[in-house]
Structure formats: C-alpha cells, structure tokens
Amino acid sequence: MAPKWNGFKYAMCNESMQGMEWREQCNLVGKAGYKGIEIAPFTLVKEGVEEISPACRRDMATAMKDACIECAGLHWLLSPPPQGLHVTTPDAAVRMRSWKYFRKLIDFCGDLSGPVMVFGSPKGRNTLGGISVAEATKYWAEGLAKVADHAQGRNVQILIEPLGHNQTDVVNTMGDTIKIVQEINHPAIQTMFDFHNTLDETDPFHVIIEKYFSHIHHIHVQEMDGKYLGSGNGVNDYGQAFQSLKDLRFNGWVSLEVFDFSPGPQTIAQASMSTLKKIDGKLDVKDGV
C-alpha cells in the first residue's frame, strides 16, 4: 500500500525579513499560509550562532508554535558572520574551524527541531589555493563524513545542494551530489532540489526529481530569475515537476527562497503562496492522492 500523503508542506526562507523581530517573522509567514520557516543563521547573529542562548532558542520555538509553524531547517550555512569559513580550502586550520562552527549549527538546528540543513554556500566551497575540483570535493566529503554521526544524533540531515557553475566550481549537478552521497553512505548526508540552481542540468525538472527522488529531502522554489513566485511563468513551467512530487508523495518541505527582496516580505509571501496554490490546483489526482 502506498504511504499516506497529506499534501505539500510549504515553508518560507527568512532572509527577506531580516531586521524584523523573530516573532514578527513567524507571524508573517504563518498568516500567509505557510507551515514552516527556513532560517539563514547569519540573519540572526552578529558574530556567530553561539550568541543564541538556550533560553532564546526556546523562545524562538515558542514563537513558531504560537504562529502555527515549524522550523523547516537551515540554509546559507557558511554565510558570514562569522567571517572566513571555508570547507574546501587546502588550509587545514580553516577547514577545522569551519567544521567546528558547523557542529554548532547542527546543534542550533536540532534545538529548533529543524529536520534539514541545506548546504549551498558557494563562497565557502569554491576551489582555493590552486587545488583541483576533485581535491576540493574530497575535502568537502571528508568533512561531511566526520559530522554525519553528530547530525544523525540531533535528527538532522545535511543536504548537499548542487549549484550552477556561475556560482561555484564544486558540485554543479544532482549527479555530482549523488556521487558524494553514495561515497559517504550515511543516512544523514543526502541532497535536495532547487529549481533556480539547475543551470548545468540537461534533463527537465521532473526527470531530475524522478531519477534522484530517493535522495531528495527538500525543495527550494522561486521563479527562475530568483524573484518571488507569480512574477514569472513558474505557475506553468513547474507543473510537471510538482506533479511528479505529488505522484511520488514527497513529504519534505517545499520552501520558498527568493533573491530579490525589493517587493518586501509581505508581497513575496502572499503572492508566492497564491501561485503555489494555483500550481497545486492544476495537478491531477492519481491513486487517491
């Protein structure tokens, strides 16, 4: 019997709300119809995530609960502050410092009951110091393997995000991520799918999703130019991909991540939710789903 599926869970990333009080962010997201909020840690701190005390983390969890939302996870993991984090540099001391901080992020995510950490951070994984892409990828995989048990112990999955060559030269396709996932072979190290970051893919969205579905544990969505949903043609272009996710009963978060904040968080949230509902309304019902 197919697993029960209760529909898509939509979340919104919090970067467009930076500067607002945390409770205000949660209320905006909840009132717009999302069930989760995805956190970029750099938006909340001056020096590092250790500033957020256990009591403050409990208050953050309470604010989410009061707004009827959950923590969908973390992303932009190596974006400063703190400065100078890098996981593929040949400088072993910098790598060690970066992974030490990463463990703190795992604990922060776990304290908020976030299920995933999306590892994009192109500037923190680019090749440096004349090393090859293969060497950089090896350093990254080694570091991921070392924190995998800690992540699993906090009920967190680390999701390697493929990014286009216009952002980084290390891991550009879903195929690249799967090689690392299979090499590490640990349930806490998986991948995710982002519509915007498919520059180097040759297959259509739905084919990528279907091919790698067993390792995809999170979705990022926005218009292809990075703007809010509804400002472009995503309502039509993404239909087949969402149909595949529905048919496969995807039960992770579908999270709105935009890169143009100029319309303001209210417009971004409401217009995008309206578009998500339009996409959902066009999908076929199959096998009782």
Domain for residue 288, yes or no?
Answer: no
Q: Is 233 helix (H, G, I), strand (E, B) or coil?
A: coil
Q: What pLDDT score was predicted for residue 5?
A: 83
**Phi, psi dihedrals of residue 55, rounded to the nearest 5°:** -65, -40
CB-side exposure of 46: number of CA atoms within 13 Å?
A: 1
Domain for residue 215, yes or no?
Answer: yes
Domain for residue 77, yes or no?
Answer: yes
Domain for residue 2, yes or no?
Answer: no
Domain residue limits at 133: 9-281
- How many structural domains comprise the chain? 1
Task: Report the CATH number at residue 141.
Answer: 3.20.20.150
Is residue 185 predicted with pLDDT exceeding 60? yes
Domain for residue 99, yes or no?
Answer: yes
Closest CA to 244 of 279, 268, 270, 271: 279
Q: In sequence order, which residues have a C-beta less than 8 Å from that of residue 156 and are 6 or more positions away?
A: 73, 106, 109, 110, 114, 115, 116, 117, 188
Domain for residue 1, yes or no?
Answer: no
Task: Give the whole-angstrom CA distance, residue 192 versus residue 209.
Answer: 9
Is residue 289 predicted with pLDDT exceeding 90? no
Indicate the range of 1-10, 162-171, 193-202, 233-242 predicted with least confidence.
1-10
- 117 DSSP β-pair partners: 74, 158
Q: What pLDDT score was predicted for residue 200?
A: 98
Domain for residue 287, yes or no?
Answer: no
pLDDT digits (tens, 9 = 90+) for 89-110: 999 999 999 999 999 999 999 9
Global pTM reads 0.97
Is residue 1 predicted with pLDDT exceeding 90? no
Find the mean pLDDT for residues 130-134.
97
pLDDT digits (tens, 9 = 90+) for 191-200: 999 999 999 9
Which helix (H) or strand (E) segment is 221 a member of?
Answer: strand 216-221
Domain for residue 76, yes or no?
Answer: yes
Mean pLDDT of the chain: 97
